[in-house]
Amino acid sequence: MSTLHTTVWESCLTVIRDNISSQAFKVWFEPIVPTKLENNVLTIQVPSHFFYEWLEQHYIHLLKKVIKKEIGPDATLEYSIVIENNSNQSTPYTVKLPTQNTSNLQNPSQSVPLQATEPQIRNPFIIPGLKKVTIASNLIPSHTFENFVEGECNRLARASGYAVANKPGGTAFNPLLIYGGVGLGKTHLAHAIGLSIKDQHPNKTVLYVQSEKFAHQFIDAIKNQTTNDFIHFYQMVDVLIIDDVQFFAGKEKTQDVFFSIFNHLHQNGKQIVLTSDKAPVEMQGMEQRLLSRFKWGLSADLTIPDLETRIAILEKKMYASGIELPKEVVEYLAYSINTNVREIEGALNTLLMQSSLNRKAITLDLAKQMVDKFVKNTAREVSIEYIQKIVCDYFDLPIELLKSKTRKREVVQARQISMYFSKKMTKSSLANIGAHCGGKDHATVLHACRTVINLSETDKQFRVYLEDLEKKLTIN
């Protein structure tokens, strides 16, 4: 009987594993330890309060379903949260579920101090043979968590960054590796972590450095025969943030020195945060032993923000610069620039500059001209999403209907027109257009295009619609 909880939990995990990504499973379910099952209450032990909140926010429905299936309809779940404290009391903090409002919960870190005394040397920057060195953290003050808009595209990276900032060196996320394409917010997030650590733990030494700079410093150290000082310097920080580690690829000596610094810091419970433009598996020219260390902690990716997040980012930036843009301009920018956040920012800045230089009001027309002239590549092409929005606005239909399967006449017509313009104005495949328009297949899209062409030849009113819409969609 004593292992019943383990068996039950194993069965739960089997179902959970099939329902979420393997990365999420590894991060959020592997660390859980089932501790008891009594009176239909299954108790699971989780490593932190943050962990518990994350489960509550993201997996509670799945957990409830699985537990009821395995134990019965009256089953409930209880968490016990492991708290580390200095006095060696190991009374885990217990939270009973189902809970409605997590914010009402007492915060365990308030009742039991996580670290009453800092076991660190007061001033670690006295290096033998060197004068006292004060180091600047190299953090950009505006790159805070508050200024970093949350979205599906960055949820895991942001949340794990947040966890690391609350408890540097004290989470399973060590190293934390944030990866993703250019302009998606890796550097911003890395700074946010550093800033938040400095804010919450003022006596921790945080150091942000770009890999390129690290590599150059190292070369200088070799030249000046000061490699030991170089290594000591880096080994003495509490939090080391290295941006764009992919730069180390192919640089064996730099990788070796970084390897030894990494090991020293990790062994001493210091936090390491890395960013890279590639996932560890795709990093060519990086030593295996380093790659395997990158995988010790958590790798979280950043992807291209969805439309709502792009709008939220634009609004945040506008607010920061104290300027208000017409809603249609904001929407146009968010719809048409879907490459990365840096380009969105660039477009916004160019637009603001253009308007102040030429003393022109920021109108949709100006935005269109600007995007056409200044924004590179993909932005020149209207997107399927933008076409759908313009068509739906024109016919006064909610865009969700267009994406749904409904066969109401007006919706079908708007959907067919969207497909027609998507075929005509974007490089998307028929299958992709179909997928955006209520999950239709390529034959349906082709049929829609033919219907639109036929109607435009026979129906005068319909032709007017098309001409109006074409004008609205053309960027010039």
Residues lying near Mg ion in the complex (CB under 5 A) = 186-187
Hey, which bits of 88-149 come out as E strands? 93-96
- Residue ranges in 322-361 assigned as alpha helix (H): 327-336, 341-358
How far is 448 from 433, CA to CA, in rounded Å? 11
The residue among 347 and 448 lying less far from ligand ADP, judged by its C-beta, is 347
Nearest to 183 by CA among 345, 349, 350, 374: 345
Residue with tokens 């956040």: 341
Q: How far is the CB of 318 from Mg ion (least distance, A)?
A: 23
Using CB under 6 A as the binding rule, whether residue 300 contacts ligand ADP is answered as: no
218 binds, among Mg ion, ligand ADP, none (CB under 5 to 8 A by kind): none
Contact status: 149 vs ligand ADP (CB under 6 A): yes
Q: Does 108 bind ligand ADP (CB under 6 A)?
A: no
Position with the least CB separation from Mg ion:
187
31 or 346: whose CB is closer to ligand ADP? 346
Q: Residue 206 Cβ, how far from ligand ADP at the closest point, in Å? A: 17
Nearest distance in Å: CB 210, Mg ion = 8
CB-wise, 185 or 434, nearer to ligand ADP? Answer: 185
Residue type, 476: N
Rounded-to-integer distance, Cα 267 and Cα 384, Å: 51
- Is the Cβ of residue 5 or residue 188 nearer to ligand ADP in the bound state? 188
Q: Which residues contact 331 (CB under 8 A, 6 or more apart)?
A: 311, 389
> What percentage of the chain's residues is helix, strand, coil (to nearest 5)?
55, 10, 35
Restricting to residues 211-250, which ones interact with ligand ADP according to CB under 6 A? none
Measured over the CA atoms of residue 288, residue 291, residue 295 and residue 299, the dihedral's sign is negative
Q: What are phi and psi of 149, to 5 degrees?
A: -70, 130
| Min CB(292)–Mg ion separation in Å | 24
Binding partner at 67 among ligand ADP, Mg ion, none, C-beta below 5 to 8 Å by kind:
none
Which of Mg ion, ligand ADP, none is residue 183 near (CB under 5 to 8 Å by kind)? ligand ADP
Query: Can residue 154 be called a binding residue for ligand ADP (CB under 6 A)?
Result: yes
For Mg ion, the closer CB: 186 or 415: 186
Nearer residue to ligand ADP within complex by CB, 331 or 343: 343
Residue with Cβ nearer ligand ADP (109 or 144) = 144
Give the range of 58-66, 185-193, 416-424, 455-463 binding ligand ADP by CB under 6 A.
185-193
Q: Does residue 320 belong to the site contacting ligand ADP (CB under 6 A)?
A: no
Cβ atoms < 10 Å from Cβ of 162: 17
d(CA 174, CA 259): 14
Q: Rounded to the nearest whole angstrom, what is the least distance from the CB of residue 279 to Mg ion in the complex?
A: 16
Our separate counts of H helices and E strands in the chain read 21, 9
Q: Does 342 bind ligand ADP (CB under 6 A)?
A: yes
Q: Decide if 174 contacts 271 (C-beta within 8 A).
A: yes
Contact 219, 202 (CB under 8 A): no
Bridge partner residues of 276 (DSSP): 179
194 contact choice in ligand ADP, Mg ion, none (CB below 5 to 8 Å, kind-dependent)? none
Q: Which of 183, 194, 297, 434 binds ligand ADP (CB under 6 A)?
A: 183
Cβ-based nearer residue to ligand ADP, 84 or 308: 308
End-to-end CA distance of the chain: 74
184: contact with ligand ADP by CB under 6 A: yes
Q: Is 169 in the site for ligand ADP (CB under 6 A)?
A: no
Q: How far is the CB of 335 from ligand ADP (least distance, A)?
A: 18
The only residue of 29, 50, 148, 173 in contact with ligand ADP, by rule CB under 6 A: 148
Q: SS3 of 404, please?
A: coil
Taking CB under 6 A as the rule, does residue 310 contact ligand ADP? no
Does residue 297 interact with ligand ADP by CB under 6 A? Answer: no
The H-or-E segment that residue 108 falls in is helix 108-111
Cα–Cα distance between 244 and 208 in angstroms, integer? Answer: 11
Check binding of 194 to ligand ADP (CB under 6 A).
no
What does the CA dihedral 119, 123, 124, 127 come to, rounded to 10 degrees?
-150
Of 114-122, 182-190, 266-274, 287-295, the window that binds ligand ADP (rule: CB under 6 A) is 182-190
Rounded CA-CA distance 256/260 in Å is 6
Q: How near is the Cβ of 189 to Mg ion at its closest, in Å?
A: 9
Q: Where are the beta strands (DSSP E) in 93-237?
A: 93-96, 176-179, 206-210
Orientation angle between helical segments 409-425 and 384-395, nearest 10 degrees: 140
- Asked if 313 touches ligand ADP (CB under 6 A), the answer is yes
Structure tokens at 188: 């911003």
Using CB under 6 A, list all residues that contact ligand ADP. 147-149, 154, 180, 182-188, 313, 316, 341-342, 345
